[in-house]
């Protein structure tokens, strides 16, 4: 096995099991599971990111023992806000799960660099007029997408991990060095 960060990503059995466990969706958020976690029991999901735009970081356990933690989801949604307009909406938990599962598959300690989370229609229109790279009906405007980067992993490795989750859209942007992950239909593209 090579340690070169540009080598092809090959998910391990342990990594796949952890990722698939992290993508199981449950609906009821509750605080009670937190106490079980603090005693050392139960399953948790964690997301780690930082934003070069705002200088903020987040290292958040957002799911404990089969339940989403509402205050954690609110904090994640605020973190992933449109920094240009300083507006946020609830980020779809499926997107957070995909991001967390892909991160677990890559077995890295490094947090994601969040390039774009939620986008207001105003920001999305501005990005479309500048580069044409933003979709007219972007899932970013619904809180269902994120553009992410890792220094320790290539675009190809990140995309392979996200695609292994088979849970949404994965876009590879080699020139801009980021991967788009969303909870829309299962599809892949290169931009």
Return the axis-axis angle of helices 70-79 and 93-106, rounded to nearest 10°: 80
Q: In 3D, which of 53, 49, 37, 184 has the Cα closest to residue 103?
A: 49
**Helix 155-164 vs helix 13-23: crossing angle, to nearest 10:** 60
Beta bridge partners of 67: 64
**How do beta strands 178-182 and 145-149 pair?**
antiparallel
Domain-embedded: residue 36: no
Q: Is residue 145 part of a domain?
A: yes
User: What CATH number does residue 84 fall under?
Assistant: 3.30.1380.10
CB atoms within 10 A of CB 18: 19
**What pairs with residue 46 in β-bridges?**
61
> How many domains in the chain?
1
Per-residue pLDDT of the chain (191 residues; tens, 9 = 90+): 333 444 454 555 455 444 444 433 333 333 333 333 334 445 899 999 999 999 999 999 999 989 999 999 999 999 999 999 999 999 999 999 999 999 999 999 999 999 999 999 898 888 777 876 677 788 999 999 999 999 999 999 999 999 999 999 999 999 999 999 999 999 999 98
Helix (H) or strand (E) holding 175: none
- Tokens 């796949």 correspond to 16
In 80-143, where do the E strands start and end? 112-116
In a domain, 105, yes or no: yes
- Domain range for 153: 17-28+76-190
d(CA 107, CA 173): 22
């Amino acid at each position: 096995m090579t340690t070169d960060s540009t080598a092809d990503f090959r998910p391990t059995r342990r990594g796949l099991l952890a990722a698939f466990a992290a993508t199981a969706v449950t609906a009821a958020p509750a605080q009670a599971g937190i106490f079980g976690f603090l005693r050392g029991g139960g399953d948790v999901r964690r997301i780690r990111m930082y934003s070069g735009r705002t200088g903020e970081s987040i290292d958040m356990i957002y799911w404990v023992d089969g339940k989403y933690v509402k205050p954690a989801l609110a904090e994640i949604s605020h973190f992933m806000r449109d920094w240009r307009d300083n507006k946020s909406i609830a980020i779809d938990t499926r997107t957070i799960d995909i991001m967390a599962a892909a991160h677990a598959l890559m077995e890295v300690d490094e947090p994601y660099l969040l390039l774009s989370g939620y986008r207001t229609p105003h920001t999305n229109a501005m990005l479309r007029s500048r580069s044409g790279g933003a979709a007219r009906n972007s899932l970013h405007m619904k809180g269902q997408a994120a553009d992410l980067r890792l220094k320790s992993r290539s675009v190809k490795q990140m995309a392979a991990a996200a695609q292994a989750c088979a849970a949404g859209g994965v876009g590879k942007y080699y020139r801009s060095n980021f991967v788009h992950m969303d909870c829309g239909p299962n599809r892949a593209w290169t931009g």
